Homo-oligomer: A and B are copies of this chain.
Amino acid sequence: MEPRVSDTHRNSFSQLNVPPRLLLGPGPSNAHPRVMQAMATRLLGHLDPEFIDIMDGNQEMLRYLFQTDNSTCFPVSGTGSAAMEAAIANLVEPGDKVLVGVNGYFGLRMAEMAERYGAVVSTFNKPWGESFTRQEISMALREHRPAILCLVHAETSTGVRQSLLGVGDLCRKHGTLLLVDAVSSLGGVPLFVDEWKIDAAYSASQKCLSCPPGISALTLGERAMEKIGNRSVKVSNWYLDLTLLGRYWGRERIYHHTAPINLNYGIYEALRLVVEEGLEARWERHRRNADLLIAQLRKIGLEPFVRKEIRLPSLITVSVPEEVDARKVTTALLDDYNIEIGNGLGELEGRVWRIGLMGFNSRPENVAMVTTALDRILND
């Protein structure tokens, strides 16, 4: 006999009615209207030939964004953290030496994940807000001789851009694979996977691509795929196993998991927008609006936290003036102006704000809006 249905939790919740937020934090940023339209397209099955065409388009356009000829280049069915985990879970075998440059929160996350997959993890460190010099990286490689070096190209927690010039060559000299976090740079900040000899890189949809979160991007080169092909133990993570995923995204088209169809529509349109604008124009736009933001912030007495040479144009950290309660300001921005900016993360909590000007949101009117609102809150 079947039990009776309990109505204990049968509560009525009201229709969605969300406030019109301007999302100028570390992400998600607002989606481009064309991306929202694309996501509203009716569903296809995940093995429908028409969907497979869309998958092919996503792979090819991601190659343009990553500036790579890698055949392994596709959207991952989860957020940027899932793409990070896909890279680490597949590349790391238990006992592998992994070296992580930690100068912010996301370096710590890479170290944490690598450890969970059985790596022997070493870190080399810089204060949050600084980046590593090529010499520091070279010394760390010589000291640790790791199988994998992890670096964060765009540290979302600090607003620092890590230069990768010459790092790939250093890694090859040591037989080390170079894994790069490009979550807050892809589509907004110069990134050259092949020219810089990056072996694996990943990103997210909700930053400079202006697509809602829930899908991400991953690419791996031949050296990385060779390491995965030579694994002696299976990847413990089934959902993100690249060998299985490769059979779905590659020629065989064998069912693995049901792809997030509408997010694939969304990222397809987001990538089309980048292809239309062109990477150089898009990078230049991010630079210009970041410069504009800094100039406007200075007019109201605020200073960027990161020095110019290593400052990200997509995510700008701003020093919180002494005697200002950082959280009170972000709350006022949200409550009174419908503007979201980020609080400091980890050890920068209370010390910085994080302002994202990413993708669609990297526009002069947004700079005007957020600086005006900040001025009123701080100085009125």
Contact = CB atoms under 8 A, between A and B. Distances in A.
A127 interface: no
**How many copies of this chain?**
2
Nearest to A57: B13
A50 B18 contact: yes
Interface residues of A, number: 98
B334 A257 contact: no
B18 A41 contact: yes
B40 A18 contact: no
B116 A235 contact: yes
Given A16-B41, A238-B112, A2 B261 contact: no
A3 B214 contact: no
A212 B116 contact: no
A39 interface: yes
Contacts of A77: 78-79, 82, 214
Interface string A198-219: 0000001010000011110000
B195 A3 contact: yes
B43 A30 contact: yes
26 contacts: A3-B195, A5-B67, A5-B279, A11-B60, A11-B64, A12-B276, A18-B42, A18-B50, A19-B44, A23-B45, A28-B45, A29-B43, A39-B40, A77-B82, A79-B257, A81-B258, A85-B239, A89-B236, A89-B237, A112-B238, A117-B236, A206-B258, A212-B261, A212-B262, A213-B260, A214-B263
